[in-house]
Amino acid sequence: MKWIYKFLIRFFIFTLLFGTFIAISVKFAYVEPSEYIYSDNDWDNFSYTPEYNHSQWNILLDAHSHTYYSDGYLSPRQNILWHISMGFNAMVLTDHNTFDGVEEILELARKEFNDTIKVLRGMEWTTDRSHLNIILPPEVSAEDYEKLKTHSSYSYTPSDEEFKKIIESAHSIGGLVVVNHIPWSEEFCHDQPSREQFLEWGVDYIEIVNQETYDKISEDFCLENNLGIITGTDMHKPEPVYSWTTLNVSEFSENAIFNELKAKKTGYIYTGAASPYPVEHKHNPAYSILYPFIKMGEIFRDVYSSPYFTEYLTPIFLYPYLVFFSVELSKFVIYRKKRK
């Protein structure tokens, strides 16, 4: 009986420790600490602009980026500085399900970088079915803002009607709706609406390049159905760039850029190769300490998105307990031999 009592205590402690490890790892799957420490002067000595026809285009836009107000690693100021260093003179901030950083980054752009880059307000409506970028007009009012915030507070698995409602809500205040990274969503989201459904619901754009992924199927679909084409870095941490959305405006202003977007007068630069990015950022020591939790968290995130969720999840829990019971069995055998 004494041995059984000790075994149950060890089993409880093992389960508690293993459960704590899993819980911390799952947290890091969605709030992963940065591998690097970023400072405002990291980009002081680097600048890159892709080759393009300057007589045809005068705006290089990134329509999809993030800050630490959602799951990005840069501050609004650092986000601007990185964009400038990568040749952009226009951008949209699209943090996940929040507008918390847009006023801060807009004020910075207007006061400190007004002649260099223009920023538009946006948000990435993030669900388990699909991700939509909502780009707001510069003259949006506080009342309109709150209206869209309210309508964006849907469940993580929205119905088709909720999709229609958010699109209608964005359009009612003069905004634009972009369907993001369809190839990525096909792999990691569940029950993503089809391109035909999005067209019927009235979206304005489909993102045809996201990071390094070029979506030729979506580009052809856009051209056949009078949808706009747009690209995005989807930048969460500073890295090389693969594409730039191009526009031509008569004046360098937020309104002029937004009006060209509304008219769907966009082109893009994409070579399939990454831009240079020789900037070295300071490594974060905390990342090394937390590395096992981070990697396990990434496994859980990938497993959750897999159609083989149950098959992949079972061994994650089974193997540690097999080791535990094997050790306990060995100890029990040794214990019995000693008793003899």
Question: 193-239, pLDDT tens digit by residue?
Answer: 999 999 999 999 999 999 999 999 999 999 999 999 999 999 999 99
Question: In the predicted model, is pLDDT for residue 2 greater than 90?
Answer: no
In this structure, are 48 and 76 located in the same domain?
A: yes
298 pLDDT higher than 90: no
> Same domain, yes or no, for 223 and 243?
yes
**Are residues 121 and 262 both part of a single domain?**
yes
**Given 237, 259, 283, which residue is the final one in a domain?**
283
Q: Over pLDDT 90: what percentage of the chain?
A: 76
Q: Are residues 194 and 182 in the same domain?
A: yes
Q: Are residues 80 and 195 in the same domain?
A: yes
**Whether residues 245 and 296 fall in one domain:** no
Residues 249 and 58 sit within 8 Å (Cβ to Cβ): yes
233 shares its domain with 216 = yes
End residue of a domain, out of 283, 300, 323: 283
- How, if at all, do strands 282-283 and 36-37 pair? antiparallel
Q: Are residues 60 and 139 in the same domain?
A: yes
Which of the two residues, 146 and 74, has the higher pLDDT score? 74
Same domain? 192 vs 45: yes
pLDDT at 100: 92
Q: What are phi and psi of 120, to 5 degrees?
A: -110, 145
Bridge partners, 207 (sequence order): 230
* Both tokens assigned to 247: 């526009």
- My answer on whether 87 and 147 are in the same domain is yes
How many other C-beta atoms are found inside a 10 Å radius of the C-beta of residue 44?
A: 11
Residue 119 pLDDT grade (very low, low, confident, very high; cuts 50, 70, 90): very high
Q: Give the pLDDT confidence of 205-215 residue by residue, as tens digits.
A: 999 999 999 99
* Model pTM score: 0.87
Domain limits for position 239: 36-283
**What gap in Å lies between CA 94 and CA 232, rounded to an integer?**
10
Q: What is the pLDDT of residue 228?
A: 98
pLDDT > 90? residue 146: no
CA-CA distance, 102 to 270, in Å (whole number)? 27
CB-CB contact of 29 with 301 (8 Å):
yes
At residue 306, the 3 state secondary structure works out as: coil
CA distance 131 to 96: 9
The pairing of beta strand 118-126 with beta strand 243-247? unpaired
What are the two backbone dihedrals, phi and then psi, of residue 275, each rounded to the nearest 5 degrees?
Answer: -70, 165
Q: Are residues 273 and 301 in the same domain?
A: no
Domains held by the chain: number: 2
Of 257, 283, 309, the residue at which a domain comes to its end is 283
Whether residue 63 is found in the same domain as residue 201: yes
CATH number, domain containing residue 210: 3.20.20.140
